[in-house]
Amino acid sequence: QLVESGGGLVQAGGSLRLSCAASGDTFSSSGMGWFRQAPGKVREFVAIVNWSGSSTNYADPVKGRFTISRDNAGNTVYLQMNGLKPEDTAVYYCAAGTYYSSSLTFTPRYWGQGTQVTVSS
């Protein structure tokens, strides 16, 4: 089970940190990712991280502004979002799955329920 938290309303230029708490004993061996879906749009990749946190990949629109990290002892993955823009407004979803280090890609298997992030201009 994946449970996201930390979403909310923030002004443009502000910051938020999303958290995703995972239950189960496979978290530390799973790749993790953050995705988002804006109204009327398809769900899109935001950031992914491998099981140890040593390899990450980001979507171009968030590079340099967002940082994904994980705490395997606490079964939690984070998304630090700085320099937020109105176009970052979306429901953000956490996912667990397989991370492919050779291609820096990710196949999600399990999803959280999502947390709303709204950035006002």
pLDDT tens, 4-60? 999 999 999 999 999 999 998 788 889 999 999 999 999 999 999 999 999 999 999
Look at residue 48 in the predicted model and tell me its pLDDT. 98
pLDDT category, 89, cuts 50, 70, 90? very high
Render the burial of 19-53: b for 16+ CB within 10 Å, e for the rest.
bbbbeeeebeebbbbbbbeeeeeebebbbbbbbee
